[in-house]
Amino acid sequence: MRMRKRISLKSKINLSFLAVVLAFGLFSAWFGVRLIGREVIKQARDKVRLDLNSAWEVYLERIRRVEDVVRLTIAQPPFKQMVKSGDREGLMETLQEIMRKDGVEWLTVTDSKGLVILRAHNPEVYGDSLIRNPFIKRALQSLDLSSGTAIIPREELLKEDEGLAQRAFIETESGSSVFDGMVIAAAAPIIWKGEVLGVLYGGMLLNKSYEIVDRIKNIVYQGEIYKGRDVGTATIFMNDVRISTNVRKEDGTRAIGTRVSKEVRDQVFLKGRLWIGKALVAGNCYIAAYDPIRDIKGKIIGMLYVGALKEKFLDLKRSVIRV
């Protein structure tokens, strides 16, 4: 009987020890899984932050290209002579050729008071004032190159090119409409022998232009597809509306006119803060980053977004755990 009691006591001790070991093992496994999960998500967030930096470089590089077109054009003595003499025909031929070669959507010449001398894409409309245009106004005030992003009213787009105004129009998912255009542009003073002759102003419309967002997707994410979906996407917002994107809706069309979530809008568009986190984008979950886009006066007018498909990171976490 004593022997049985001793064995029973010993067994209880062993069982208790095994229970402690098992509980510790289970806790360690649970903690390890959570730790791995947090590390994978942290790495995803860090990567998206770097992706956003790369996206900004693509965006700014496109602004620099517009700057170069304007700067190199005004540096040519024949161009300055045509402005000085009022040679509209010569200016039109020169600027239209530059537009065809260099990928700007409009080039406009004004005099020193901001009155239009020539619109290369719409030469019949001239003589009106563009002195309130932010790029032209700053170029004349500073006598230096002015460039960046701005929202241009529909009326001004119509004068440059009716096609630009048509492309700017977007119906949003809430039923409202976008009429104005978000542009990247540059303007520089035309100076000849110390005299300010006027300004050369050029740019491109971002509404329904996919050059920048698709370039971001191809450079940052190499156009990779995972389980039938894009690994990475990019978007340019005007205010909180998608005006340029490679995010796709269920029918495969670009999600133009859809809006960002209220949480992101409040943090980025209203408060001017970088936002990084999990976001539901057109039905898919992404690790996303949103950053405010400001005009040349510093006012927030939109957002730049990049996102990496969350499922790929979750599958990575599962594969690590299995190992």
pLDDT tens-digit map of 212-221: 999 999 999 9
Please determine, for residue 269, whether its predicted confidence score (pLDDT) is greater than 60.
yes
CA contacts within 13 A on the Cβ side of 31: 6
pLDDT tens-digit map of 135-175: 999 999 999 999 999 999 999 999 999 999 999 999 999 89
pTM of the full predicted structure? 0.84
Please determine, for residue 123, whether its predicted confidence score (pLDDT) is greater than 90.
yes
pLDDT tens-digit map of 188-198: 999 999 999 99
Provide DSSP, 69-110.
HHHHHHT-HHHHHHHHHT-HHHHHHHHHHHHHHH--SEEEEE
Please determine, for residue 26, whether its predicted confidence score (pLDDT) is greater than 80.
no
Provide DSSP, 170-203.
EE-TTS-EE-SEEEEEEEEEEEETTEEEEEEEEE
Res 321: pLDDT: 45
Which CATH class, in words, describes the domain spanning 40-60+210-322? alpha beta
Res 142: pLDDT: 97
* Domain 40-60+210-322 and domain 64-205 have a common topology: yes
Arithmetic mean of pLDDT over the chain: 88
Q: Which residues of 290-316 are buried (b: 16+ CB within 10 A; e: fewer)?
A: bbbbebeeeeebbbbbbbbbbebbeee
* Residue 55, both tokens: 């996206």
Q: Which CATH architecture has domain 64-205?
A: 2-Layer Sandwich (3.30)
**Domain coordinates in residue numbering, the chain:** 40-60+210-322, 64-205
Number of neighbours of residue 38 by Cβ within 10 angstroms: 11
Section 97-118 average pLDDT: 96
